[in-house]
Amino acid sequence: MRAFESAALILRRGRPADAVALSSLINHYARQGGMLPRTPADIREHCGDFLVAEANGEILGCGALKAYIRGLAEVRSLCTAPEAARRGVGRALLQRLVEEASHRGFKTLFALTVVPQFFARCGFREVHRLALPLKIWRDCLHCPKLFRCDERAMVLELTPRSSQPDETPAEARQPSPSLRW
């Protein structure tokens, strides 16, 4: 992957053509035990759930929302390419996912993560894992760390937004001003 020193970051919706690259990025971290793996086929099927960070046509990160019951949604598969780490990509993705979750009427957003510090820097607070509904643990059955889980539960209570959907296409919106490029 090339350097992106002065490139503008674009946040856009995932596309089927991203599936292999996103799977490769996510599985890079999954092999280190920080995320659940995702296959290209799985991502292709759910590509509309993905937000992709891109600069100069190169994918720098991604993240997705998963809806649960009673106004609850999960931030999942959130990651930044190693070459772009600590330059605001993760925060930009998370901020946009928070906005999207608010617009969609979710009341609480949560993440299960081995990097609670990142989520805390982005306004989330830690809760006991058992404070979350049992339903969310279904994916854990496929996790190699099932009986030695080190993930922490982070939540953000969302401020209700207008029920009108944001008509601005994801591609056309400006990146977060907190980006460090």
Binding region for ligand COA (CB under 6 A): 29, 34-35, 78-80, 85-91, 111, 113-115, 117-118, 121
Residues 60, 2 contacting (CB under 8 angstroms)? no
**Distance of alpha carbon 37 from alpha carbon 34, whole angstroms:** 9
Q: Indicate the residue among 56 and 160 with the shorter CB distance to ligand COA.
A: 56
- Cα 68 to chain centroid distance, Å, stands at 15
Query: Any residues with CB less than 8 A from the CB of 25 and at least 6 apart, and which?
Result: 59, 61, 62, 79, 81
Between residues 114 and 127, which has the closer beta carbon with respect to ligand COA?
A: 114
Which residue lies nearer to ligand COA by CB, 125 or 160?
A: 125
- Shortest separation between residue 167's beta carbon and ligand COA, angstroms: 27
- Residue with Cβ nearer ligand COA (80 or 102): 80
Nearest distance in Å: CB 93, ligand COA: 7
State the nearest-atom distance from the C-beta of 84 to ligand COA, in Å.
Answer: 6
Instruction: Kindly state the smallest distance separating residue 82's Cβ from ligand COA, in Å.
Output: 8
Please say whether the beta carbons of 100 and 65 come within 8 A: yes
CB 108 within 8 Å of CB 70:
no
